[in-house]
Copies of this chain bind each other. A is one copy, B any other.
């Protein structure tokens, strides 16, 4: 029989991949907390209607949706924003505005897997609800930038592509284009960089525009455009405007965004966008059937493209390597050189762990050199040997290759002291 396989587009996180995932989570969480965001989480399974309400019926083609045993039409969430809108509007009176919330969790989309795209992926969502000012947009963009920098991905490695839906609305009004053409027009703009000029020209003429008109407008939509003035002033004060590239072709989710839109993208590897977001002032009203009209903006960053980028970016590799080493190593391995001392060794294991020291040891009798090999395999900093000399115990630094004999009674204290010294040697080379 063939062994049962992981489902296509889903991932097993063996310890090394899980350590990478945790490093990404810890970094997301640390930056979000510095920005004063509070963490929330919604259910992984929601009514399919929740996603239809935001995105229309077409969304179901991308959903893992099914009828549950109670005849409910349910779906694995493809994104978290509908749950956020459901939760925040249901209890909006309980929270002071602006609501600054973040979330980290799995999402699911039935799409063709490819580099940077899996069917189960993890998103970091950060949103601010209840404040319509550009200062909110600036706070979110600053947080996206600082998240990248916290990973060691710097100005030479990534940038923010920034635009604003309103500049195109103004353009269309100016050009006397009927509102019914807005969606078609934005679809053309969304593809303008990848499409052939002749095709774009033809499509634009269908709604009464020329490529020349559009190009002239786009060239003028630079960082001096009034739509970006408040953002520019704010991000300049923070020293972050250097990361911004105005790019009017950034459109993103068509029916959804209402103002600022932006993407985080890498500058060197041509990967899919690392993150994207913007202002979506109408969603809360839509999701609450008009009961709660609350402005909102946010962004989402996935773990898949980010993980690829971290491995490719020299500035990010050292942080990543040291996080992976921390996750795969232990502080000390207890060696039982004389089985008569196993009881004392177990008592020490217990006392050291109670003091927060990460300890492993061999469960059964083993030759001493095998136990030292196991200590190396487990990337232990120290080996602590319980032999015939008990109550004297030998603590060996496996990196520096030095050792010291200590009385068992002061072992915990000694080990804690030794662990506070910075580690040096081959493990960190």
Give me the interface of A with B, judged by CB distance under 8 Å: 1, 3-8, 10-15, 18-19, 21-22, 30, 33-36, 38-47, 49-50, 53, 64, 66-70, 72, 74, 76, 83, 86-87, 89-91, 96, 98, 100-101, 106, 108, 110, 120, 131, 133, 135-136, 139, 142, 146, 233-234, 237-240, 287-289, 291, 327-328, 330, 342-344, 346-347, 349-350, 353-354, 356-360, 363-364, 374, 377-378
Q: What residues of B have a CB within 8 angstroms of the CB of A291 in the complex?
A: 3
Cβ–Cβ < 8 Å partners of A360 in chain B: 35-36, 100
**How often does this chain occur in the complex, in copies?**
2
Query: Are A350 and B45 in touch, CB under 8 angstroms?
Result: no
Q: B327 to A43, Cβ gap below 8 A?
A: no
Q: How far is the CB of A354 from chain B (nearest CB, A)?
A: 7
Interface pair B43/A11, CB less than 8 Å apart: yes
- Shortest A350–chain B CB gap in Å is 4
Tell me which of B22, B47, B136, B346 contacts A5 (CB under 8 A). Answer: B47
Residue pair B110, A68 in contact (C-beta under 8 Å) = yes
What distance in Å separates the Cβ of A407 from its nearest Cβ neighbour in chain B? 19
A353→B34 contact, CB < 8 A: yes
Instruction: Let me know if A364 and B146 touch, CB within 8 A.
Output: no
Are the CB atoms of B64 and A68 closer together than 8 Å? yes
Supposing A44-B120, A146-B354, A364-B133 touch, asked if A378 and B36 sit within 8 A by C-beta, the answer is yes
Other than the given A6-B86, A7-B46, A12-B41, 16 more pairs (CB < 8 A) read: A3-B86, A3-B90, A7-B45, A8-B72, A12-B43, A14-B91, A15-B101, A18-B39, A35-B359, A36-B358, A45-B64, A68-B110, A133-B363, A237-B344, A238-B350, A240-B350
